[in-house]
Amino acid sequence: DTLSDRSLRAVAQLIKDGAAKQIVVMTGAGISTAAGIPDFRSPKTGLYHNLARLNLPHPEAVFEIDFFRDNPEPFYLLAKELYPGNFSPTISHAFIALLAKKGLLRMLFTQNIDCLERAAGVPADRIIEAHGSFATQRCIDCKTPFPDDQMREHVKRGEAPRCARDGCGGLVKPDIVFFGEQLPEAFHSNISVPCAADLVLVMGTSLLVHPFAGLPRRAREGVPRVLFNLERVGDMGTRADDVLVLGDCDSGIRKLADELGWRDELEALWRG
């Protein structure tokens, strides 16, 4: 029985007692690796370590708006691999949906663009897609939306679509936030939500990309913050009430579900 086991039990007790019912969840690519989608920064398996073949000046360039303008092909090569539809949610995604089902999810802030939280059943009005998603796309010049079905065809072929509006011909890009672009309005208008949390769960993120990385710090002092991640990240672990559940997040989430007595319900929801 480790300290983190005991702490996780204490966190579960808060939820069972009704003391934690405004739960704010913050996620990153680590919650989708078990679904077969690589994360960005893990050594060996992360996307950024496997982009040598694309001849980029540096790995992040694939998601930089200025680079994309001149050179959209590398992004479209990747998009083919990352495009939603080819993947199923993990049990960690299902847990967030279960929190929502029980009326305990105040908000999910995700950096992921894979739409797996929607696929798992988290209601759209409880999700802030801080880095956008592949759900819609538009011209980067005139902003005219581009049809979903045509987008799917282009992505399948690994080809950059061009705006169909008369005389435009600009590049079309999924509405995912590139480096050098503003985060969606919904991120900014909900930036205070973490301050109202009575429990914060951080899952599968390196907390290296700002402004998202600043969200956990917005939790009030004394509000437990639980990290489910392979490694310690950001300032997680520096507060007395922080709980570190290091390891793969699906295992950590199953442990928490066990402590809550929700395990069967969770597995059933996940299997659909």
Q: Could you list the residues that contact ligand OAD (CB under 6 A)?
A: 28-30, 33-34, 39-42, 46, 63, 111, 131, 177, 179, 204-206, 208-209, 229-231, 233, 248-249
Q: How far is the CB of 166 from ligand OAD (least distance, A)?
A: 31
- Based on the number of CB atoms within 10 Å of its own CB, is 210 exposed (0-12), middle (13-18) or buried (19 or more)? exposed
Q: How far is the CB of 100 from ligand OAD (least distance, A)?
A: 21
Q: Which is nearer to ligand OAD, 41 or 165 (CB)?
A: 41
The first and second tokens of residue 250, run together, are 């699906």
Q: Which is nearer to ligand OAD, 107 or 198 (CB)?
A: 107
Query: How far is 219 from 11, CA to CA, in rounded Å?
Result: 15
Phi and psi at residue 27, to the nearest 5°: -130, 160
Q: Which is nearer to ligand OAD, 96 or 198 (CB)?
A: 96
Q: What is the DSSP letter of 162?
A: B
Active-site residue 58, yes or no? no
Q: Return the HEC string of 69-122.
A: HHCCHHHHHHHHHHCCCCCCCCHHHHHHHHHHHCCCEEEEEECCCCCHHHHHCC
Find the residue with minimal CB distance to ligand OAD: 30
Per annotation, catalytic residue among 131, 154, 188, 210:
131
Q: Which is nearer to ligand OAD, 231 or 267 (CB)?
A: 231
Residues serving a catalytic function are: 131
